[in-house]
């Protein structure tokens, strides 16, 4: 079944295909850019390159792309088609099987956790961005009030005059080997690390010691939430325009940093560390587990964001094509970012005369310590620092837009009154204010401990469980044959057999493997030398379980509320699709989703009969004016040329 140029299915009346109540994307570019901005986040820059380097370099690419093909793209396509077919957010789509609506609530809980701490990371990037607006980066030297005696910078302060500079240079050269030996024997504390810990965070000694709120970070957090709110003030209508910049400019910055990086001495060494294959690691289960986990988490599966973004597509949009484009773009960005990161780190290692492994890092350690320190070695370092942190801000905002929209859309769709639909901006503002208030504890002196705790537990194995249950529900409870027909009705062609096999068998098996791998490889979280106390780990597990526990709690509630005299009858009725399940617009509710006998149909039928005679007259006028009109469902043969 092919689609016409305007997206209509042959044989159907020509439709606008627009959902005037909920709204749609302005065009498909907006959806693709938003989804790319959502999937491509901070993890692509600060996690993937390090994972690749630690898991066999170029050899890691093999399991990485295998997992992309058999797990990443199929799950991405499944979530996009799910949201687009129903035109509902992560709660409304569970009309497909109401008992599983707890999965949608679990997605909301996960998105809430991530949205809280993700914006704190963005606000710290804002702080560094503003701090870079100076002639000299504040983390360049060790002569600041917050530095300790163990501070050892990579840049030597300029001397008072040339003579002193020459003497200093000769002394440094003569003692180079001794200095390297000292660095190797004692842990070097860099000025960027001391700036991060002692000035920006003023970090406390324990997760329970909150200390005071860091007002500069709190101010940046307010700026970050205001920016997110303003970009989403009109929902997808406004965010769809913003992403033209936020989703594309990071690639401009990456390219600028890449060109600058590869021209530096030692860059080739860094890239070799990043890509040199260690084929013996292919047989290591941990490598495959890391590859599967990275694909799963980086694409944003089970967060609810993909379902939400797709729900604003027009019904006949080709989300199959979109899922392939977005998934491959996401993974290509990760690989590209690795060149940017390791070219600079290779230059830094060369400058310090140490191994690249000594300067390689990931997470906040890379973004706010290692990479900023490397930038101090470059001429016009404030410029490169501004570009780098501006890129981090945009990467973070792209994801944050979708996290907030996921929550807002779920609330609006669930309540569904005309007032709340008209006043969606009020809901957006309310969610943003609550998100800001919940993020305040993360701006205290113990905030970094809580941020990492949420990052490690709030969105870890719970996402895997949610995704696995979603696959089981759609493929086995609702039924794979029915879902394949739904996709065919929407796209005009059935899902390719590869995706049908992956959805039913391969992807659930890989997801189960990720879950087992996550449990086996579990290690209590640490931050540098700090070991988290048991009570904080218990809170972490409670956060992780809070999203999963929604599933059985709501299932029991729905079974209790369902009709039936026995438990099995109630269970069966609670799994049946709701009468509202299906396409949102009445013009798309055909076949199984048609509602014969309803008032709407009774009114439409006589109207069609009544209009047939008038339609013939209209067609005659059309022939004269050469204007082609639709047949409005007439069964009479039309000799007028049609497009």
Please report, in range form, the residues annotated as the binding site for Na(+). Answer: 37, 39-40, 44, 298, 330, 395
Listed residue (131, 138, 150) closest to 190, CA to CA: 150
d(CA 289, CA 438): 33
Which residues, other chains included, contact 52 with Cβ-Cβ below 8 Å and sequence gap of 6+?
60, 61, 64, 274, 275, 335, 338
Torsion of CA 465, 466, 471, 472, to 10 degrees: 70
Token digits of residue 602: 């009774």
Residue where the block lists tokens 């710290």: 124
CA distances from 402 to 236, 303, 407 (A): 10, 10, 9
Paired residues of 151 in beta bridges? 189
Q: What DSSP assignment string belongs to 167-194?
A: HHHHHHHHTHHHHHHHHHHS--B-HHHH
Per-position DSSP letters for 362-398, written without gaps between them:
-THHIIIIIHHHHHTTSTTHHHHHHHHHHHHHHHHHH
CB 369 within 8 A of CB 192: yes
Burial class (CB in 10 A: 0-12, 13-18, 19+), 638: middle
**Length of the chain in terms of residues written:** 643
Eight-class DSSP state of 151: B
Enumerate helices (H) and strands (E) in the chain, giving the number of each: 30, 2
Return binding residues: 37, 39-40, 44, 298, 330, 395
Buried b or exposed e, range 475-495, using 16+ CB within 10 angstroms: beebeeeebbebbebbbbeeb
């Amino acid at each position: 079944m092919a689609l016409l140029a305007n997206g209509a299915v042959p044989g159907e009346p020509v439709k606008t295909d627009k959902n005037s109540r909920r709204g749609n994307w302005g065009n498909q570019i907006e959806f693709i850019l938003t989804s790319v901005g959502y999937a491509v986040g901070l993890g692509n820059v600060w996690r993937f390159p390090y994972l690749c380097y630690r898991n066999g370099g170029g050899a890691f690419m093999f399991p990485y792309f295998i997992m992309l093909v058999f797990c990443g793209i199929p799950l991405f396509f499944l979530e996009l088609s799910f949201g687009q077919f129903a035109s509902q957010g992560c709660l409304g789509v569970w009309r497909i099987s109401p008992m599983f609506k707890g999965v949608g609530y679990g997605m909301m809980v996960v998105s809430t956790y991530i949205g809280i701490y993700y914006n704190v990371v963005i606000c710290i990037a804002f702080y560094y961005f503003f701090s870079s607006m100076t002639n000299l980066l504040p983390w360049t030297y060790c002569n600041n009030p917050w530095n300790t005696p163990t501070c050892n910078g990579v840049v030597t302060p300029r001397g008072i005059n040339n003579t002193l500079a020459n003497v200093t240079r000769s002394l440094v050269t003569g003692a180079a080997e001794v200095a390297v030996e000292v660095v190797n024997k004692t842990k070097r504390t860099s000025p960027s690390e001391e700036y991060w810990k002692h000035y920006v965070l003023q970090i406390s000694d324990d997760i329970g010691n909150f200390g005071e709120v860091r007002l500069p970070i709190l101010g940046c957090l307010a700026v970050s939430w205001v920016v997110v709110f303003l970009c989403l003030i009109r929902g997808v209508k406004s965010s769809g325009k913003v992403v033209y910049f936020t989703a594309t400019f990071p690639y401009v910055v990456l390219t600028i940093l890449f060109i600058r990086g590869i021209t530096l001495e030692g860059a080739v060494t860094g890239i070799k560390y990043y890509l040199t294959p260690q084929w013996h690691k292919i047989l290591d289960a941990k490598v495959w587990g890391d590859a599967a986990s990275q694909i799963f988490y980086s694409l944003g599966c089970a967060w609810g964001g993909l379902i939400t973004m797709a729900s604003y597509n027009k019904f006949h949009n080709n989300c199959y094509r979109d899922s392939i484009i977005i998934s491959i773009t996401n993974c290509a960005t990760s690989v590209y970012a690795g060149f940017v990161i390791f070219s600079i780190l290779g230059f830094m290692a060369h400058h310090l005369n140490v191994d690249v492994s000594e300067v390689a890092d990931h997470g906040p350690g890379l973004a706010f310590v290692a990479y900023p320190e490397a930038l101090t070695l470059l001429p016009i370092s404030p410029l490169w620092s501004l570009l780098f942190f501006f890129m981090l801000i945009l990467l973070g905002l792209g994801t944050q837009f979708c996290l907030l929209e996921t929550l807002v859309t779920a609330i609006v769709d669930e309540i569904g009154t005309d007032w709340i639909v008209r006043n969606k901006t009020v809901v957006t503002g309310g969610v943003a204010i609550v998100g800001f208030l919940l993020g305040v504890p993360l701006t205290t002196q113990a905030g970094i401990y809580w941020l990492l705790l949420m990052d490690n537990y709030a969105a870890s194995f719970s996402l895997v469980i949610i995704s696995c249950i979603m696959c089981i529900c759609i493929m086995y409870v609702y039924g794979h044959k029915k879902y394949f027909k739904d996709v065919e009705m929407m796209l005009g062609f059935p899902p390719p057999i590869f995706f049908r096999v992956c959805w039913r068998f391969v992807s659930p098996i890989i997801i189960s493997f990720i879950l087992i791998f996550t449990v086996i490889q579990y290690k209590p979280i640490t931050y540098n030398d700090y070991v988290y106390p048991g009570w904080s780990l218990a809170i972490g597990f409670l956060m992780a379980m809070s999203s999963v526990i929604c599933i059985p709690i709501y299932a029991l509630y729905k079974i209790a509320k369902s009709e039936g005299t026995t438990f099995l009858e109630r269970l069966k009725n609670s799994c049946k699709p709701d009468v509202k399940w299906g396409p949102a617009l009445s013009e798309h509710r055909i076949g199984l989703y048609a509602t014969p006998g309803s008032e709407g149909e009774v009114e439409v039928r006589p109207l069609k009969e009544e209009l047939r005679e008038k339609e013939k007259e209209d067609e005659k006028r059309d022939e004269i004016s050469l204007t082609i009109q639709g047949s409005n469902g007439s069964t009479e043969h039309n000799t007028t040329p049609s497009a």
